[in-house]
Amino acid sequence: MINKDSKKILVVDDDEAIRHLCDEVLSVAGYKVDLAINGLAGLHMVKSEEYDLIISDISMPELGGIDFYISALRDFPHLKDRFVFITGYIPEDLHTIVNQMKLKYILKPFRIADLLNCVENLMSKTLQELYPGKDVMGKRLEGRFEIGAECDLFEEDSLRHRYMAGKTFNISRNGISISYEGEPLAPDTPVSVYLSINSLNIHRGAKVIWSKPDSEAKSSSGLQFYEPIPVSSIVNAVPSAPLSQAQPKGLRKSG
């Protein structure tokens, strides 16, 4: 049974630097990460653990990524749409297979933002299929960035247009958590959020998912955006976040 509160990813690559990079980036983003040095080791792990996503190199000793994928699907066909490949190049003899199977892949060297966007998109699709109707804010289904920044919050219900000065304490592609002066906002209350973080200027409509009083004068709420923010925008706007420090420049490998 998959743990709904912490998604699990298997990274399979014979390059230690790539494994370390993916482990650091994805762990900071809120995922549980397991590592394997080749497809054979990855296949053993797939048989003993349940993974929400598998990231695999293509060219590896003992068992390459494509053979690993085909072998895994024999026993676990539900993993078909949970694979993404990372590779420096696609060998000539595998081009046709990759195209015919419509396999998803990222070319090395890749940017952290590209990896995160790919993972977030595939994970969101998987979660919607597994748990339709579940709320990503309430269930903590995605990675978040801890950040404190001043913001403006407007209550947008039909009876009043109330302004509240607020402060963020975390943000994700689909929502934000904010503390503010005043009583807790009711769930499903429509609001507008204005926030500026370096190069990222956010103006989003949202709805309240949860609220709680912090003191007699202050409250906190979790908001879900009506329109998501690309993870790459958040990473680029928050240079002090650990994610932006995890990418060594010029990282490249041949397989």
CA distance 245 to 112: 10
Q: 50 with 90, same domain? A: yes
| 125 inside domain | yes
pLDDT tens, position by position, 156-200 = 765 556 788 889 888 887 888 899 988 888 888 899 999 887 777
Task: Give strand pairing partners of 177.
Answer: 170, 222
Domain extent at residue 17: 8-134
Contact indicator for 209, 222 with CB cutoff of 8 Å:
yes
Q: 124 with 147, same domain? A: no
CA distance 248 to 84: 21
How high is the pLDDT of residue 47? 92
Q: 97 with 147, same domain? A: no
For 76-81, the CB contacts below 8 A with 24+ separation are: 76/46, 79/46, 79/51, 79/54, 81/122, 81/125, 81/126
Q: 23 with 126, same domain? A: yes
How high is the pLDDT of residue 49? 92
Q: 66 with 183, same domain? A: no
CATH classification at residue 146: 2.40.10.220
- Cα–Cα distance list, 98 to 76, 84, 108, 232 (Å): 19, 11, 16, 26
Q: Is 151 helix (H, G, I), strand (E, B) or coil?
A: strand
Residues with pLDDT less than 70, the chain: 1-6, 90-100, 124-144, 157-161, 231-233, 235-255
Q: 111 with 151, same domain? A: no
In the chain, the N- to C-terminal Cα span, in Å, equals 34
| 2 inside domain | no
How high is the pLDDT of residue 40? 95
Q: 164 with 101, same domain? A: no
CATH classification at residue 113: 3.40.50.2300
Kind and range of the H or E element at 197?
strand 190-197
Q: 192 with 92, same domain? A: no
| 126 inside domain | yes
What's the structural domain count of the chain?
2
**Residue finishing a domain among 117, 134, 151:** 134
| 44 inside domain | yes
How high is the pLDDT of residue 45? 95
